[in-house]
Amino acid sequence: MPVTFNHTIVPARDREASARFYRDLLELPEAPSWGPFTNVQLDEGVLLQFAELPGVDEIQMHHYAFLVEDDLFDRAYAHLRAGGIEHWADPQMTRPGETNTEHGGRGVYFKDPAGHAIELITKPYL
C-alpha cells in the first residue's frame, strides 16, 4: 500500500467558522463531522479536522499550502479580495496585495480565522 496523507488536526478558535472559511474559499462541500472535530474533506479523502483546544489561549501558527488549479486560484483570490482579507506575494509578508509567479505558477499567502499562514499555489514546488 502506498503512503498517503489522511488527516491533520487544525487548531481553531471557532471550529465552525474556520471550516466554513476553507469550504467557501476552496469551494468544498460539507463533510460529516464528529466529536470535537468539524471536518473539511479535500480530494482523495484527506481531512482537515478543525478543533478548539481547551485551555489554550493562544494558537500557535501553522503553515498549510494548497495546490489548486488556475481557475480555482482565480476564484479564491477574488474571494480573498472581496472579503478584504490581507494577502501577500511572499511568506515574509513584505509584498502586500500581490500574488507571485514562483516555480512557474502563481501563489498567494494569507491568514485564516485562527491566524494560520495559508498558501495557495498553482504549481507544485517539486
Q: End-to-end CA distance of the chain, in Å?
A: 23
Residue 109 pairs in a beta bridge with 88, 119
Is the Cβ–Cβ distance between 106 and 122 less than 8 Å? yes
Convert the pLDDT of each residue in 25-63 to its tens digit.
Answer: 999 999 999 999 999 999 999 999 999 998 888 999 999
CA distances from 110 to 1, 58, 69, 77, 97 (A): 35, 19, 18, 10, 10
- pTM (two decimals): 0.95
| Matching CATH number, 1-54, of 1.20.58.760, 3.10.20.30, 3.40.50.720, 3.30.720.120 | 3.30.720.120
The domains of the chain are located at 1-54, 62-126
CA atoms in the 13 A half-sphere facing the CB of 3: 0
- CATH code of the domain made up of 62-126: 3.10.180.10
Convert the pLDDT of each residue in 64-111 to its tens digit.
Answer: 999 999 999 999 999 999 999 999 999 999 999 999 999 999 999 999
